Every structure is written in C-alpha cells, then in structure tokens.
Amino acid sequence: MIPSGAPIATAAQMRAAEEAVFASGVSQDELMERAGAAVAREVARFAVGRPILILAGPGNNGGDAYVAARLLHAEGHDVILVATGAPAPGAAERMQALWQGPTSSLYAARPRPVLVDGLFGTGMTRPLDRGLAAVFADLVKQAEFVLSIDLPSGIDTDSGADLGAPRGIDVTLALGALKPGHLLDCGLERCGRVLLADIGIPVETGRRSVARPQIETPGVHSHKYSRGLVAVIEGAMPGAARLAAQAAMAGGAGYVVLAGDRPWSGGPDALVRREVRSAEDLTEFLGWDRIDAVVLGPGLGRDRRAEAYLRAAFAVPKPLVLDGDALTLLGGDAAAWLETRAAPTWLTPHSGEFDRMFAGQGSKIETTLAAAAATRATIVHKGADTVIASPKGAVRVLAGASPWLSTAGTGDVLAGLLAAQVVQEGKGVAPAEAAVWLHARAAQLAGPALIADALLMHIPQAVSECL
Ligand SMILES: NC(=O)C1=CN([C@@H]2O[C@H](COP(=O)(O)OP(=O)(O)OC[C@H]3O[C@@H](n4cnc5c(N)ncnc54)[C@H](O)[C@@H]3O)[C@@H](O)[C@H]2O)[C@@H](O)CC1
Ligand SMILES: Nc1ncnc2c1ncn2[C@@H]1O[C@H](COP(=O)(O)OP(=O)(O)O)[C@@H](O)[C@H]1O
Ligand SMILES: [K+]
C-alpha cells in the first residue's frame, strides 16, 4: 500500500527541500526531532508494549533513530539501541549524546519482537556490507514487527535497486515525501506498507503518486458526440482491439467505433463497426471530423499493412494512443516518427516495448522522463511500477496494482480506457493518471485470477467512485 497523491522526491530533491527549510530558520536538530517524533509515534502504535530494538546507523537516518529511541524510552517502552558506528559530527551526534538508555553492539544484539531500522536512508550510496546485511536480515526475520525509517536500509533511494535490503519489513515510514525507492523495482516489494509523515518540509517536484481522479458526470445537455468519439483500429489479432474498444465505452466515451475487416458477432451492440480493409480506407475513415481520439496498436500485427496503418494514423492531426505492435513498429525510430506529429500522443509501452524504443540509464522515472522529452509524447511505462511522464517533466507513479493484471489483454483495456479519458480530460498526464487509476481499481474489484475481459464489467464501478 502506497499513499496516493503524495509528492515524490529524489535524494537530491529532498536535500534541496531540507536546505530551504533550514534557510527559513528551522534548525537541523529541530527537523530531526520532528522526524524522530513521527517514528516514535508509529512505533508505539504498532509495538503495543512489546520490547523494541532500534538500529542506528552513522548518518541522519541514525539520528532519527536516536530521537525515536529517546522518546519511546521516556514513554516507558522497553528499548535497546544498537549503534553501528559513531555518528558524523552534527545533529546525529548530538542526538546520540542525548540517548541514556541501554545500548548493545550489533553483533551482540539479540532479536526482539519489534525492530526499528534506522541504519541508512537517503544517504545509501553503496550495497550494505555483507556481514551487516546478514545480521540485519536475521534480526528482521526473528522480529514480529519491523519498521524502517524513511527507507529500508539497502534500497537505493532514487531507483529502488536492491543494495542488500532484507525481506520482511512491515512498515516503511517515508519522511516528508515518497522517494522513488518506495515505488520502483525492488523497493516496491521490500518496503511493506508505506506510510508518509509530514515533518514540515514543503516538497514540490511535479512528481506524485497516482491519485483517484475526479470524473465529471455528463452535463444536462451532453450528447454522444460531445462526450467524445474514440476510433479503435483493428489488426491481425482482433480480440485486442475489441477489448480496447469496449474499455473505451465503459470508460465513458460517448461513441466508440471499431474499424476493421474482421467478422464479429459478439460484443455490445452499442459498439459501432466500420469496415476498413486498407490504409486508403483508414485514411478516409480518419478524415471524419467527429473522431476525437484514435487507438492504434493493440493486436495490430507488424506486417506491411500494419506499418501502412501506422503511417495513416500519424498523418491525421488527432490525439493518438499508441500501444502494443504500433510501439514495436516505431522501435528505435520512435523519436524521429513523433517529430512529425503536432497533435498530442500517448505511448503505453510495457518494459519490453520501452526497451525496444529507448536506450537510457537511470531509474524507471528518469528513463521514462527522457523518453517523453525525446518524443514529445506522454508515456505510460507499464508494469508493477507504472510510471507516467510528460514532455514537460510531470511524473505520476502507480505502484502495487494487483499482480493478477499480469495476464494477456489487460494492456489493451488500458489503451481503450486512456482514449476515453483523452476525449474527456484533454492533455498530458491527467488522462493517463485517470486511466491508470481506473484500471488498477477495476483489477482490485475483479479480484484474483482475473482475465482481461473481467476488467470491463468493473470499470463502471471504478468510474462511480470518482464522481
Ligand atoms: N537533514 C536532516 O536533518 C534530516 C534528515 N533526515 C534523515 O536523514 C536521512 C539521510 O541522512 P544522511 O544523508 O546522513 O544519510 P544516511 O543516514 O542514509 O547515511 C549516510 C551515511 O552512511 C554512509 N553509507 C552509505 N551507504 C553505506 C553503506 N552501504 N555502508 C556503510 N555506510 C554507508 C554514508 O557515507 C554516510 O556517512 C534521511 O533518510 C532521513 O532519515 C530526515 O529526518 C529529515 C531531516
Ligand atoms: N505484476 C504486475 N503488477 C501490477 N500490474 C501489472 C503487473 N504486470 C502487468 N501489470 C499491468 O497489466 C497491464 C499489462 O499490459 P501489457 O503488458 O501491455 O499486456 P497486453 O499487451 O497483453 O494487453 C499493464 O497495465 C501493466 O501495468
Ligand atoms: K532505514
């Protein structure tokens, strides 16, 4: 569980935000007191009287741990503190000096029911030392409840990469803002439940966790065209386009047309069919001025006709959602293709498709931002840690959706949902954030062992929760 609509800051952004707070007259000790108090509050809540072992590292994360230990001890909790090194001069050292309770060395420490991890936070720069990692993992394993201060020690703050963090942490108390490490890669599975403590550090990075969207009920005078017309283009595997088209309908588009040449007797009668057999047919169809957004790619195929369809869609100055095979066809030339477009474009790659299109170093947030800047498109980089990035640098992350989504066709549903939000919501990250939220919520409602078709019937319920 990740707090929704919460700011996300890298280690450097967090340091800059802290500096601004210091510049406003708040001392480092005061900020550390606030952080430690937030930790003590959560630990007391979960410890319910059980003995507590607190690990304090050499930096400010350890400083927070010393404060929490002092406050918990003063409240009458049974606390033993383990210091893993002398704190650096400054606030952490002063907090250590104020600790007067029992202290143990790391290697002599006996497991206790409640463990607080204050070894390292945003200052982790290299993997945990092997010996430390082994002792830490053992203490975690033998504890009944484990809380990590700010980040699990052994998770890279900016990428979520594994630097030796153990499994079994129950709660991570993020201080001031979420960090990418709570949301991405290994961090997502190692943090347990993430809680966010406001310690009075204003953080404005344009990067947030996905929040529940606000969706407008159709107005009194709304009609099918005013609510938006989505055209979904069929290809070699027509089931994918059908899923996208039905998702666009359920997601609130006023009119959905499925354009292709495959016979289909099933599906909702409200879905309009339009015969399209060639790129020329497609160009003619897309010239229809009622069309507000186009979905191309789900089940498109990668043959010459598919490529001709892609060219036809690119030539039309209308909002375009590109998914699946369309992305593979763009491949490494994605940026060059997208240079030719003036109308807004959304790309919804999974990691395989993303890697075929973009090279790049850094966290999933950084690589997705770079891809958005290079293509001038909004990118929904899917997965357990879905990252949405706009060319202007806005980021939204939805981490921890139902892992049952890892089944064929769920991405096609997302593409259709996105188009429905595009015709209702307009530009940039907003429609993508709404679509990703609705998709995750529909999956939650569909429950275990879902198939992509099952998402469709839960979309209206998800929409109703956003009105
Ligand atoms: N500046 C402040 O007053 C505040 C700091 N905060 C806390 O401060 C933390 C960041 O503090 P720091 O920047 O001191 O960083 P850390 O406490 O995360 O650790 C930094 C120290 O650990 C060393 N180190 C890094 N990786 C190591 C490894 N694998 N093995 C051994 N040593 C390693 C570094 O060289 C450095 O000396 C945050 O996560 C948060 O807990 C927050 O409480 C907000 C207030
Ligand atoms: N382990 C997972 N946890 C959460 N969501 C996942 C997971 N695996 C996949 N998803 C989501 O399921 C969808 C799968 O999309 P995609 O890979 O394009 O499938 P398809 O092409 O078969 O429709 C995406 O929205 C993705 O974010
Ligand atoms: K920690």
User: What is the whole-number distance in angstroms between the Cα of residue 371 and the centre of ligand 3?
Assistant: 32
Q: How far apart are CA 332 and CA 359, in angstroms?
A: 8
Is 261 found in the same domain as 187? no
pLDDT at 84: 93
208, 242, 267 - which closes a domain:
208
Whether residue 394 lies inside any domain: the answer is: yes
Cα separation of the two ends of the chain: 23
> In the structure, what pLDDT confidence band is assigned to residue 1 with cuts at 50, 70 and 90?
confident
In this predicted complex, what is the ipTM? 0.94
Is 177 found in the same domain as 276? no
63 labeled part of a ligand binding site: yes
236 labeled part of a ligand binding site: no
Whether residue 192 lies inside any domain: the answer is: yes
pLDDT at 88: 85
Number of domains making up the chain: 2
144, 179, 208 - which closes a domain:
208
60 labeled part of a ligand binding site: yes
Q: Taking the CB of residue 59, how many other CB atoms lie within 10 A of it?
A: 20
Is 405 found in the same domain as 341? yes
142, 174, 208 - which closes a domain:
208
pLDDT at 267: 83
Whether residue 146 lies inside any domain: the answer is: yes
Kindly tell me if the per-residue pLDDT of 217 is higher than 80. yes
Residue 176 CA: nearest ligand 1 atom is 44
CATH code for the domain in which residue 153 is found: 3.40.50.10260
User: What is the whole-number distance in angstroms between the Cα of residue 382 and the centre of ligand 2?
Assistant: 6
Whether residue 303 lies inside any domain: the answer is: yes
Q: How far apart are CA 33 and CA 17, in angstroms?
A: 17
User: What is the whole-number distance in angstroms between the Cα of residue 170 and the centre of ligand 3?
Assistant: 12
Is 245 found in the same domain as 189? no
CATH code for the domain in which residue 260 is found: 3.40.1190.20
Q: How far apart are CA 262 and CA 84, in angstroms?
A: 67
Whether residue 54 lies inside any domain: the answer is: yes
Is 173 found in the same domain as 29? yes
pLDDT at 180: 98
Residue nearest to atom 4 of ligand 2 (CA): 384
pLDDT at 185: 96
Is 294 found in the same domain as 361? yes
Is 253 found in the same domain as 138? no
Q: How far apart are CA 210 and CA 146, in angstroms?
A: 26
pLDDT at 356: 95
Domain membership of residue 378 as a residue range: 229-461
Kindly tell me if the per-residue pLDDT of 190 is higher than 90. yes
Kindly tell me if the per-residue pLDDT of 425 is higher than 80. no
- Long-range CB pairs of 313-317, under 8 A, 24+ apart, other chains included: 313/233, 313/282, 313/286, 314/340, 314/341, 315/283, 316/283, 316/286, 316/287, 316/343, 317/341, 317/342, 317/343
Whether residue 254 lies inside any domain: the answer is: yes
Q: How far apart are CA 431 and CA 171, in angstroms?
A: 31
User: What is the whole-number distance in angstroms between the Cα of residue 151 and the centre of ligand 3?
Assistant: 5
Is 243 found in the same domain as 191? no
Q: Give the SS3 label for residue 71.
A: helix
How many percent of the chain have pLDDT more than 70? Answer: 100
Kindly tell me if the per-residue pLDDT of 405 is higher than 90. yes
User: Exposed, middle or buried, 308 (CB in 10 Å: 0-12/13-18/19+)?
Assistant: middle
Whether residue 450 lies inside any domain: the answer is: yes
Is 234 found in the same domain as 139? no
Mean pLDDT score across all residues of the chain:
96
> In the structure, what pLDDT confidence band is assigned to residue 265 with cuts at 50, 70 and 90?
confident
Ligand nearest to the CA of 324: 2
Decide if 323 contacts 232 (C-beta within 8 A): no
453 labeled part of a ligand binding site: no
In this structure, the residues whose C-beta lies within 6 A of any atom of ligand 2 are 324, 350, 382-384, 386, 401-403, 405-406, 408-412, 414, 439
Is 406 found in the same domain as 314? yes
Is 276 found in the same domain as 423? yes
pLDDT digits (tens, 9 = 90+) for 315-359: 999 999 999 999 999 999 999 999 889 999 999 999 999 999 999
Is 181 found in the same domain as 33? yes
Which H/E stretch holds residue 365?
A: helix 364-375
Report helix, strand and coil shares of the chain as percent, to nearest 5.
45, 15, 40
pLDDT at 62: 98
Whether residue 221 lies inside any domain: the answer is: no
